A and B are shown apart, each in its own frame.
Chain A
Protein backbone atom coordinates (compact mmCIF):
# COMPACT_ATOMS: atom_id res chain seq x y z
CA UNK A 1 0.00 0.00 0.00
CA UNK A 2 1.16 3.52 -0.79
CA UNK A 3 0.19 6.76 0.96
CA UNK A 4 -1.36 9.28 -1.42
CA UNK A 5 0.33 12.69 -1.44
CA UNK A 6 -2.69 14.93 -0.95
CA UNK A 7 -0.66 18.14 -0.71
CA UNK A 8 0.79 17.32 -4.13
CA UNK A 9 -2.78 16.83 -5.36
CA UNK A 10 -3.69 20.29 -4.05
CA UNK A 11 -0.66 21.84 -5.74
CA UNK A 12 -1.29 20.10 -9.08
CA UNK A 13 -4.97 21.14 -9.07
CA UNK A 14 -3.97 24.75 -8.37
CA UNK A 15 -1.43 24.73 -11.22
CA UNK A 16 -3.86 23.07 -13.62
CA UNK A 17 -6.56 25.68 -12.94
CA UNK A 18 -4.25 28.63 -13.51
CA UNK A 19 -2.93 27.06 -16.70
CA UNK A 20 -6.22 26.00 -18.31
CA UNK A 21 -7.94 29.29 -17.43
CA UNK A 22 -5.45 31.02 -19.71
CA UNK A 23 -4.90 28.33 -22.33
CA UNK A 24 -7.60 27.02 -24.60
CA UNK A 25 -7.12 23.28 -25.18
CA UNK A 26 -4.77 22.87 -28.20
CA UNK A 27 -7.25 20.64 -30.06
CA UNK A 28 -9.90 23.32 -29.58
CA UNK A 29 -7.62 26.10 -30.80
CA UNK A 30 -6.83 24.02 -33.91
CA UNK A 31 -10.53 23.38 -34.57
CA UNK A 32 -11.32 27.10 -34.29
CA UNK A 33 -8.55 27.94 -36.73
CA UNK A 34 -9.97 25.45 -39.22
CA UNK A 35 -13.45 26.97 -38.78
CA UNK A 36 -12.02 30.47 -39.25
CA UNK A 37 -10.24 29.59 -42.48
CA UNK A 38 -13.28 27.98 -44.09
CA UNK A 39 -15.84 30.62 -43.03
CA UNK A 40 -17.47 32.71 -45.78
CA UNK A 41 -20.06 34.56 -43.67
CA UNK A 42 -18.41 37.93 -42.88
CA UNK A 43 -19.95 38.41 -39.41
CA UNK A 44 -19.09 34.86 -38.36
CA UNK A 45 -15.59 35.35 -39.75
CA UNK A 46 -15.30 38.57 -37.71
CA UNK A 47 -16.27 36.61 -34.58
CA UNK A 48 -13.88 33.74 -35.33
CA UNK A 49 -11.05 36.22 -35.97
CA UNK A 50 -11.63 37.80 -32.55
CA UNK A 51 -11.93 34.38 -30.84
CA UNK A 52 -8.63 33.16 -32.30
CA UNK A 53 -6.88 36.44 -31.53
CA UNK A 54 -8.26 36.22 -27.99
CA UNK A 55 -6.99 32.67 -27.42
CA UNK A 56 -3.50 33.65 -28.56
CA UNK A 57 -3.42 36.88 -26.55
CA UNK A 58 -4.58 35.08 -23.40
CA UNK A 59 -1.95 32.35 -23.77
CA UNK A 60 0.81 34.82 -24.53
CA UNK A 61 0.05 37.23 -21.67
CA UNK A 62 -1.20 34.71 -19.12
CA UNK A 63 -4.69 36.25 -18.93
CA UNK A 64 -7.87 34.20 -18.56
CA UNK A 65 -9.29 33.37 -22.00
CA UNK A 66 -12.79 34.21 -20.74
CA UNK A 67 -13.95 36.18 -17.72
CA UNK A 68 -16.29 33.32 -16.83
CA UNK A 69 -13.59 31.09 -15.38
CA UNK A 70 -16.41 28.77 -14.48
CA UNK A 71 -17.01 26.23 -11.78
CA UNK A 72 -14.36 23.53 -11.40
CA UNK A 73 -15.55 20.04 -12.38
CA UNK A 74 -13.20 17.25 -11.33
CA UNK A 75 -13.30 13.53 -12.15
CA UNK A 76 -11.04 11.60 -9.78
CA UNK A 77 -9.91 8.02 -10.42
CA UNK A 78 -8.48 6.80 -7.16
CA UNK A 79 -6.23 3.72 -7.20
CA UNK A 80 -7.44 0.97 -4.87
CA UNK A 81 -3.93 0.34 -3.53
CA UNK A 82 -3.67 3.83 -2.07
CA UNK A 83 -4.07 4.85 1.54
CA UNK A 84 -5.69 8.28 1.80
CA UNK A 85 -4.14 10.08 4.77
CA UNK A 86 -6.77 12.84 4.80
CA UNK A 87 -9.83 14.25 3.08
CA UNK A 88 -9.29 13.98 -0.68
CA UNK A 89 -12.22 16.32 -1.37
CA UNK A 90 -10.76 19.00 0.86
CA UNK A 91 -7.40 18.54 -0.93
CA UNK A 92 -9.15 19.20 -4.27
CA UNK A 93 -11.06 22.18 -2.90
CA UNK A 94 -7.91 23.69 -1.42
CA UNK A 95 -6.37 23.48 -4.90
CA UNK A 96 -9.47 25.18 -6.29
CA UNK A 97 -9.29 27.89 -3.61
CA UNK A 98 -5.65 28.64 -4.45
CA UNK A 99 -6.06 28.28 -8.21
CA UNK A 100 -8.95 30.77 -8.36
CA UNK A 101 -7.17 33.44 -6.34
CA UNK A 102 -6.72 35.61 -9.45
CA UNK A 103 -9.78 34.28 -11.27
CA UNK A 104 -13.45 35.21 -11.07
CA UNK A 105 -15.35 33.80 -8.11
CA UNK A 106 -18.64 32.68 -9.59
CA UNK A 107 -19.83 30.09 -7.06
CA UNK A 108 -22.61 30.89 -4.61
CA UNK A 109 -25.39 29.46 -2.48
CA UNK A 110 -28.35 28.65 -4.78
CA UNK A 111 -30.95 29.92 -2.32
CA UNK A 112 -29.36 32.93 -0.64
CA UNK A 113 -27.17 33.84 -3.66
CA UNK A 114 -24.34 34.59 -1.23
CA UNK A 115 -20.96 33.98 -2.88
CA UNK A 116 -18.65 31.43 -1.25
CA UNK A 117 -15.82 33.86 -1.97
CA UNK A 118 -13.23 31.40 -3.25
CA UNK A 119 -15.00 29.48 -6.03
CA UNK A 120 -15.28 26.34 -3.91
CA UNK A 121 -16.71 23.81 -3.77
CA UNK A 122 -15.75 22.02 -6.97
CA UNK A 123 -18.14 19.42 -8.38
CA UNK A 124 -16.23 16.19 -7.80
CA UNK A 125 -16.99 12.77 -9.29
CA UNK A 126 -15.00 9.88 -7.84
CA UNK A 127 -14.41 6.31 -8.91
CA UNK A 128 -12.07 3.60 -7.72
CA UNK A 129 -9.60 2.06 -10.17
CA UNK A 130 -6.73 -0.40 -10.26
CA UNK A 131 -3.26 0.64 -9.11
CA UNK A 132 -1.73 3.24 -6.82
CA UNK A 133 -2.28 6.52 -8.64
CA UNK A 134 -4.82 9.34 -8.50
CA UNK A 135 -6.01 10.26 -11.97
CA UNK A 136 -7.44 13.76 -12.33
CA UNK A 137 -9.54 15.19 -15.13
CA UNK A 138 -10.38 18.82 -14.52
CA UNK A 139 -12.48 21.30 -16.47
CA UNK A 140 -13.44 24.92 -15.82
CA UNK A 141 -17.07 24.96 -16.90
CA UNK A 142 -18.68 28.24 -17.88
CA UNK A 143 -22.39 28.62 -17.27
CA UNK A 144 -23.52 30.53 -20.37
CA UNK A 145 -23.25 27.11 -21.96
CA UNK A 146 -24.16 25.01 -18.90
CA UNK A 147 -27.52 26.81 -18.73
CA UNK A 148 -28.31 25.65 -22.26
CA UNK A 149 -27.87 21.96 -21.44
CA UNK A 150 -30.79 19.52 -21.39
CA UNK A 151 -31.81 16.11 -20.12
CA UNK A 152 -34.63 13.93 -21.43
CA UNK A 153 -36.06 10.64 -20.18
CA UNK A 154 -37.50 9.02 -23.27
CA UNK A 155 -39.75 6.03 -23.70
CA UNK A 156 -38.10 3.02 -25.32
CA UNK A 157 -40.69 3.39 -28.10
CA UNK A 158 -39.31 6.82 -28.92
CA UNK A 159 -35.87 5.26 -29.22
CA UNK A 160 -32.71 6.58 -30.81
CA UNK A 161 -34.59 8.40 -33.59
CA UNK A 162 -36.20 10.71 -31.05
CA UNK A 163 -32.91 10.96 -29.13
CA UNK A 164 -31.10 12.19 -32.26
CA UNK A 165 -33.83 14.71 -32.95
CA UNK A 166 -33.73 16.07 -29.39
CA UNK A 167 -29.93 16.34 -29.31
CA UNK A 168 -29.95 18.48 -32.46
CA UNK A 169 -32.95 20.42 -31.17
CA UNK A 170 -31.15 21.20 -27.89
CA UNK A 171 -28.31 22.84 -29.77
CA UNK A 172 -30.78 24.67 -32.03
CA UNK A 173 -32.68 26.06 -29.03
CA UNK A 174 -29.44 27.12 -27.33
CA UNK A 175 -28.73 29.18 -30.46
CA UNK A 176 -26.37 32.08 -29.85
CA UNK A 177 -26.35 31.84 -26.04
CA UNK A 178 -23.63 29.28 -25.32
CA UNK A 179 -20.92 31.10 -27.36
CA UNK A 180 -20.94 28.82 -30.42
CA UNK A 181 -19.34 27.04 -32.19
CA UNK A 182 -20.17 24.71 -29.31
CA UNK A 183 -18.83 21.37 -28.17
CA UNK A 184 -21.58 18.87 -27.40
CA UNK A 185 -21.32 16.14 -24.77
CA UNK A 186 -24.01 13.46 -24.90
CA UNK A 187 -24.80 10.87 -22.25
CA UNK A 188 -27.01 7.95 -23.28
CA UNK A 189 -28.48 5.51 -20.76
CA UNK A 190 -28.03 4.92 -17.06
CA UNK A 191 -30.31 6.90 -14.77
CA UNK A 192 -31.17 10.61 -14.74
CA UNK A 193 -27.93 11.60 -12.97
CA UNK A 194 -25.78 8.98 -14.71
CA UNK A 195 -26.73 10.32 -18.14
CA UNK A 196 -25.78 13.83 -17.00
CA UNK A 197 -22.45 12.65 -15.62
CA UNK A 198 -21.67 10.83 -18.88
CA UNK A 199 -22.50 13.93 -20.92
CA UNK A 200 -20.11 15.99 -18.81
CA UNK A 201 -17.32 13.43 -18.98
CA UNK A 202 -17.70 13.21 -22.76
CA UNK A 203 -16.57 16.85 -22.98
CA UNK A 204 -13.03 15.80 -21.97
CA UNK A 205 -12.50 14.07 -25.34
CA UNK A 206 -9.94 15.66 -27.61
CA UNK A 207 -11.59 17.51 -30.48
CA UNK A 208 -11.11 15.59 -33.72
CA UNK A 209 -10.61 12.25 -31.94
CA UNK A 210 -12.65 9.22 -32.98
CA UNK A 211 -14.99 7.39 -30.60
CA UNK A 212 -13.54 3.89 -30.00
CA UNK A 213 -17.07 2.48 -30.42
CA UNK A 214 -17.72 2.48 -34.22
CA UNK A 215 -21.48 2.79 -33.77
CA UNK A 216 -21.13 5.83 -31.50
CA UNK A 217 -18.46 7.28 -33.80
CA UNK A 218 -20.90 7.13 -36.69
CA UNK A 219 -23.60 8.71 -34.55
CA UNK A 220 -21.25 11.53 -33.52
CA UNK A 221 -20.45 12.28 -37.18
CA UNK A 222 -24.14 12.23 -38.10
CA UNK A 223 -25.05 14.62 -35.26
CA UNK A 224 -22.14 17.00 -35.98
CA UNK A 225 -23.24 17.23 -39.60
CA UNK A 226 -26.88 17.88 -38.63
CA UNK A 227 -25.86 20.52 -36.07
CA UNK A 228 -23.60 22.33 -38.54
CA UNK A 229 -26.49 22.39 -41.01
CA UNK A 230 -28.45 24.47 -38.46
CA UNK A 231 -26.25 27.42 -39.54
CA UNK A 232 -26.14 28.90 -36.05
CA UNK A 233 -22.51 29.72 -36.74
CA UNK A 234 -19.94 31.49 -34.59
CA UNK A 235 -21.72 33.56 -31.89
CA UNK A 236 -25.02 32.81 -33.60
CA UNK A 237 -24.08 35.05 -36.53
CA UNK A 238 -24.70 32.28 -39.08
CA UNK A 239 -22.11 30.43 -41.17
CA UNK A 240 -20.65 27.00 -41.61
CA UNK A 241 -19.52 25.93 -38.15
CA UNK A 242 -22.07 25.64 -35.35
CA UNK A 243 -20.24 22.92 -33.41
CA UNK A 244 -16.60 21.85 -33.17
CA UNK A 245 -17.41 18.33 -32.00
CA UNK A 246 -20.03 15.92 -30.65
CA UNK A 247 -18.88 13.35 -28.09
CA UNK A 248 -21.00 10.50 -26.79
CA UNK A 249 -20.70 8.14 -23.82
CA UNK A 250 -23.18 5.40 -22.99
CA UNK A 251 -24.12 3.14 -20.07
CA UNK A 252 -26.70 0.37 -19.77
CA UNK A 253 -30.15 1.58 -18.77
CA UNK A 254 -33.50 0.22 -17.57
CA UNK A 255 -35.96 -1.59 -19.89
CA UNK A 256 -38.45 1.26 -19.31
CA UNK A 257 -36.31 4.21 -20.33
CA UNK A 258 -33.81 5.94 -22.59
CA UNK A 259 -32.11 8.76 -20.66
CA UNK A 260 -30.48 11.35 -22.94
CA UNK A 261 -28.37 14.18 -21.51
CA UNK A 262 -26.93 16.97 -23.66
CA UNK A 263 -24.20 19.02 -22.01
CA UNK A 264 -23.16 22.04 -24.03
CA UNK A 265 -19.72 23.60 -23.84
CA UNK A 266 -18.76 26.92 -25.44
CA UNK A 267 -16.11 27.26 -28.16
CA UNK A 268 -13.39 27.34 -25.52
CA UNK A 269 -12.49 24.02 -23.92
CA UNK A 270 -10.50 24.58 -20.74
CA UNK A 271 -9.68 21.10 -19.54
CA UNK A 272 -6.72 18.90 -18.78
CA UNK A 273 -5.86 15.57 -17.18
CA UNK A 274 -2.94 14.25 -15.17
CA UNK A 275 -2.04 11.53 -12.68
CA UNK A 276 0.00 11.57 -9.50
Chain B
Protein backbone atom coordinates (compact mmCIF):
# COMPACT_ATOMS: atom_id res chain seq x y z
CA UNK B 1 0.00 0.00 0.00
CA UNK B 2 1.41 3.38 -0.98
CA UNK B 3 1.83 6.16 1.55
CA UNK B 4 -0.24 9.30 0.90
CA UNK B 5 1.91 12.44 1.01
CA UNK B 6 0.81 16.07 0.89
CA UNK B 7 2.82 18.80 -0.88
CA UNK B 8 4.45 21.17 -0.08
CA UNK B 9 6.42 18.65 1.90
CA UNK B 10 6.90 19.50 5.57
CA UNK B 11 10.27 18.78 7.18
CA UNK B 12 8.94 16.02 9.43
CA UNK B 13 7.36 14.10 6.55
CA UNK B 14 10.52 14.50 4.49
CA UNK B 15 12.58 12.97 7.29
CA UNK B 16 10.13 10.06 7.71
CA UNK B 17 10.39 8.81 4.13
CA UNK B 18 12.57 5.79 3.31
CA UNK B 19 14.16 4.92 -0.04
CA UNK B 20 12.13 2.25 -1.82
CA UNK B 21 8.76 3.30 -0.41
CA UNK B 22 5.88 3.82 -2.83
CA UNK B 23 4.04 7.12 -2.38
CA UNK B 24 1.03 8.94 -3.80
CA UNK B 25 1.70 12.69 -3.88
CA UNK B 26 -1.08 15.28 -3.68
CA UNK B 27 -0.73 19.06 -3.73
CA UNK B 28 1.25 21.67 -5.63
CA UNK B 29 4.63 21.51 -7.34
CA UNK B 30 6.73 23.49 -9.80
CA UNK B 31 7.44 21.93 -13.17
CA UNK B 32 10.44 22.69 -15.36
CA UNK B 33 13.46 21.02 -16.93
CA UNK B 34 16.75 21.81 -18.70
CA UNK B 35 16.11 25.23 -20.25
CA UNK B 36 14.03 26.44 -17.27
CA UNK B 37 16.89 25.60 -14.88
CA UNK B 38 19.41 27.30 -17.12
CA UNK B 39 17.41 30.50 -17.17
CA UNK B 40 16.54 30.39 -13.46
CA UNK B 41 20.26 30.18 -12.72
CA UNK B 42 20.94 33.20 -14.89
CA UNK B 43 18.41 35.13 -12.77
CA UNK B 44 19.99 33.80 -9.56
CA UNK B 45 23.41 34.92 -10.81
CA UNK B 46 21.96 38.35 -11.54
CA UNK B 47 20.84 38.48 -7.90
CA UNK B 48 17.08 38.33 -8.56
CA UNK B 49 15.70 34.77 -8.76
CA UNK B 50 12.64 34.51 -11.01
CA UNK B 51 10.89 32.02 -8.72
CA UNK B 52 10.89 31.34 -4.99
CA UNK B 53 11.39 27.60 -4.58
CA UNK B 54 11.96 27.54 -0.81
CA UNK B 55 10.10 24.57 0.70
CA UNK B 56 8.86 23.58 -2.76
CA UNK B 57 9.00 20.46 -4.91
CA UNK B 58 10.27 20.62 -8.49
CA UNK B 59 9.15 18.06 -11.05
CA UNK B 60 11.48 17.63 -14.06
CA UNK B 61 9.01 17.45 -16.89
CA UNK B 62 8.06 19.05 -20.21
CA UNK B 63 4.47 18.19 -21.17
CA UNK B 64 2.75 17.36 -24.44
CA UNK B 65 0.08 19.87 -25.52
CA UNK B 66 -3.27 19.13 -23.83
CA UNK B 67 -5.71 17.08 -25.90
CA UNK B 68 -9.37 18.16 -25.95
CA UNK B 69 -10.79 17.35 -22.51
CA UNK B 70 -7.38 17.48 -20.80
CA UNK B 71 -5.98 20.30 -18.69
CA UNK B 72 -2.48 19.01 -19.22
CA UNK B 73 -1.16 16.66 -21.89
CA UNK B 74 0.99 13.61 -21.24
CA UNK B 75 3.49 14.53 -18.57
CA UNK B 76 5.88 11.86 -17.33
CA UNK B 77 9.29 12.64 -15.85
CA UNK B 78 12.45 13.39 -17.80
CA UNK B 79 16.00 12.22 -16.94
CA UNK B 80 17.07 13.96 -13.73
CA UNK B 81 20.80 13.55 -14.26
CA UNK B 82 20.82 16.50 -16.65
CA UNK B 83 19.74 18.72 -13.75
CA UNK B 84 22.45 17.42 -11.39
CA UNK B 85 24.69 20.44 -11.79
CA UNK B 86 21.95 22.78 -10.50
CA UNK B 87 20.69 20.50 -7.75
CA UNK B 88 23.12 20.90 -4.79
CA UNK B 89 22.69 24.70 -4.85
CA UNK B 90 18.93 24.40 -4.90
CA UNK B 91 18.74 22.05 -1.90
CA UNK B 92 21.27 24.23 -0.08
CA UNK B 93 19.02 27.24 -0.64
CA UNK B 94 15.82 25.65 0.60
CA UNK B 95 14.35 23.33 -2.03
CA UNK B 96 12.42 20.51 -0.29
CA UNK B 97 12.19 17.84 -2.97
CA UNK B 98 12.70 16.93 -6.61
CA UNK B 99 10.83 14.49 -8.82
CA UNK B 100 12.33 12.98 -11.96
CA UNK B 101 13.66 9.71 -13.24
CA UNK B 102 16.99 7.99 -12.98
CA UNK B 103 20.07 8.07 -10.80
CA UNK B 104 21.73 11.21 -9.41
CA UNK B 105 25.33 12.27 -8.90
CA UNK B 106 27.08 11.70 -5.54
CA UNK B 107 27.03 15.51 -5.06
CA UNK B 108 23.23 15.49 -5.34
CA UNK B 109 22.88 12.62 -2.87
CA UNK B 110 25.10 14.50 -0.42
CA UNK B 111 23.08 17.71 -0.83
CA UNK B 112 19.81 15.85 -0.23
CA UNK B 113 21.28 14.28 2.90
CA UNK B 114 22.81 17.54 4.15
CA UNK B 115 19.49 19.36 3.86
CA UNK B 116 17.03 16.62 4.79
CA UNK B 117 15.56 16.62 1.30
CA UNK B 118 13.98 13.91 -0.82
CA UNK B 119 14.30 12.75 -4.42
CA UNK B 120 11.26 10.96 -5.77
CA UNK B 121 11.41 8.80 -8.91
CA UNK B 122 8.32 9.01 -11.04
CA UNK B 123 7.74 6.25 -13.56
CA UNK B 124 9.39 7.25 -16.83
CA UNK B 125 7.15 6.91 -19.86
CA UNK B 126 3.91 6.93 -17.89
CA UNK B 127 2.78 10.22 -19.43
CA UNK B 128 -0.91 9.37 -19.70
CA UNK B 129 -1.17 8.21 -16.07
CA UNK B 130 0.50 11.39 -14.81
CA UNK B 131 -1.71 13.64 -16.92
CA UNK B 132 -4.73 12.01 -15.29
CA UNK B 133 -3.30 13.05 -11.85
CA UNK B 134 -3.16 16.77 -12.72
CA UNK B 135 -6.08 18.83 -11.41
CA UNK B 136 -4.82 22.39 -12.08
CA UNK B 137 -2.10 24.11 -14.13
CA UNK B 138 -0.74 27.64 -13.86
CA UNK B 139 1.82 29.19 -16.21
CA UNK B 140 4.52 30.90 -14.11
CA UNK B 141 7.28 32.23 -16.40
CA UNK B 142 9.51 31.67 -19.45
CA UNK B 143 6.48 31.04 -21.68
CA UNK B 144 8.75 31.41 -24.73
CA UNK B 145 10.41 28.11 -23.78
CA UNK B 146 7.23 26.27 -24.80
CA UNK B 147 7.21 22.80 -23.27
CA UNK B 148 10.19 23.86 -21.11
CA UNK B 149 8.44 26.88 -19.52
CA UNK B 150 7.99 27.03 -15.73
CA UNK B 151 4.56 25.85 -14.61
CA UNK B 152 2.90 25.15 -11.31
CA UNK B 153 0.60 22.16 -11.16
CA UNK B 154 -1.74 20.63 -8.61
CA UNK B 155 -1.80 16.84 -8.54
CA UNK B 156 -3.80 14.15 -6.83
CA UNK B 157 -2.41 10.69 -6.05
CA UNK B 158 0.68 11.08 -8.23
CA UNK B 159 2.51 7.70 -8.04
CA UNK B 160 6.24 7.74 -7.26
CA UNK B 161 8.98 5.90 -5.40
CA UNK B 162 11.21 7.47 -2.75
CA UNK B 163 14.51 7.08 -4.62
CA UNK B 164 16.88 9.02 -2.33
CA UNK B 165 15.83 9.72 1.23
CA UNK B 166 17.00 12.30 3.79
CA UNK B 167 19.54 9.80 5.18
CA UNK B 168 21.16 9.48 1.77
CA UNK B 169 19.80 5.97 1.16
CA UNK B 170 19.68 5.52 -2.59
CA UNK B 171 17.48 3.01 -4.38
CA UNK B 172 19.79 3.01 -7.40
CA UNK B 173 22.69 1.81 -5.25
CA UNK B 174 21.13 -1.19 -3.52
CA UNK B 175 20.84 -4.08 -5.89
A-to-B contact residues, CB < 8 Å: 42-43, 46-47, 50-51, 53-54, 57-58, 61-69, 102-106, 113, 115, 144, 147, 175-177, 179, 231, 235-238, 266-268
Cα–Cα distance between A54 and B124 once the two chains are bound (Å): 10
Contact of A177 with B127 in the complex, beta carbons under 8 Å = no
Among the listed A67, A115, A231, A237, which residue makes an inter-chain contact with B73, where contact means beta carbons less than 8 Å apart?
Answer: A67
Give the chain B neighbours of A106 by CB distance below 8 A: 147
* Complexed CA–CA distance, A274 and B127 (Å): 27
Instruction: Decide: B61 and A176 in contact? CB cutoff 8 A.
Output: no
Q: In residues 101-152 of chain B, which contact A (Cβ within 8 Å)?
A: 101-103, 121, 123-129, 131-132, 146-147
From B64, B74, B128, residue with most partner A Cβ within 10 Å: B128
A29, chain B: closest CB distance, angstroms: 12
Once bound together, how far apart are the Cα atoms of A115 and B62, in whole Å?
Answer: 14
Q: Are B79 and A177 in contact (CB under 8 A)?
A: yes
Q: Tell me if B78 is interfacial: C-beta within 8 Å of chain A.
A: yes
Residues of A within 8 A of B79 (CB): 144, 147, 177
Q: Which of A54, A62, A102, A267 contacts B127 (CB 8 A)?
A: A54
Most chain B CB atoms below 10 A, which of A62, A176, A236: A176
Q: What are some 11 contacts across the A-B interface (CB < 8 A)?
A: A46-B159, A51-B123, A54-B127, A54-B128, A63-B64, A66-B127, A69-B64, A103-B65, A144-B78, A236-B121, A238-B171
Q: How large is the interface on B (under 10, 10 to 19, 20 to 34, 35 or more residues)?
A: 35 or more
**A67 in contact with B76 given A50-B129, A176-B172, A266-B125 (CB within 8 Å):** yes
CA distance A159 to B81 in the complex (A): 33
Which residues of chain B have C-beta atoms less than 8 A from A267's C-beta? 125
Give chain A residues whose Cβ lies under 8 Å from the Cβ of B131: 63
**B121 touching A235, Cβ below 8 Å:** yes
Residues of A contacting B147 with CB < 8 Å?
67, 104-106
Number of contacts between A and B (CB, 8 Å)? Answer: 137
Asked if A64 and B132 sit within 8 Å, CB to CB, the answer is: no
A43: which B residues are within 8 A, CB to CB?
Answer: 20, 22, 161, 171
Task: Give A101's nearest chain B residue, CB to CB.
Answer: B65
Pairwise interchain contact B73-A175, C-beta atoms closer than 8 A: no
- CA A144 to CA B79, docked complex, whole Å: 6
Closest to B65 in A: A102
Assembled-state Cα–Cα distance A175/B174 (Å): 13
Cβ-neighbour of A65 out of B22, B125, B161 (below 8 A): B125
Which residues of chain A are near B67, meaning CB under 8 Å? 61-63, 102
Q: Which of A54, A61, A266 is packed against the most chain B CB atoms within 10 Å?
A: A54
Q: Judging by beta carbons under 8 Å apart, are B64 and A51 in contact?
A: no
**A97 nearest CB across to chain B (Å):** 14
Q: A113 to B146, alpha carbons, bound, how many Å?
A: 12
Chain B residue at smallest Cβ distance from A117: B146
A236 to B67, CA, bound (A): 30
**The residue from B129, B159, B161 contacting A57, defined by CB atoms under 8 A apart:** B129
B residues 64-90 with Cβ under 8 Å of A? 64-65, 67, 70, 73-76, 78-79, 81
- What CA separation (Å) do A69 and B76 show in the bound complex? 11
Q: Chain B contacts of A69 at CB under 8 A?
A: 64, 74
Closest to B20 in A: A43
B63 within 8 A of A: yes
Which A residue sits closest to B131, measured CB to CB?
A63
Which listed residue, A64, A102, A235, A268, touches B101 by the CB 8 Å rule? A235
Say how far B22's CB is from chain A's closest CB, in angstroms: 5
Q: How far is the CA of A176 from the CA of B124 in the complex (A)?
A: 9
In whole angstroms, how far apart are the Cα atoms of A66 and B77 in the complex? Answer: 9
Q: Are B127 and A50 in contact (CB under 8 A)?
A: no
CA separation between A235 and B65, bound complex, in Å?
A: 25
Smallest CB–CB gap between B115 and chain A, Å? 23
Given A67-B147, A68-B78, 16 additional A-B pairs, CB 8 A:
A42-B20, A42-B22, A46-B2, A46-B22, A57-B129, A58-B127, A63-B73, A66-B124, A67-B63, A68-B76, A68-B127, A105-B147, A144-B102, A176-B101, A176-B172, A238-B175
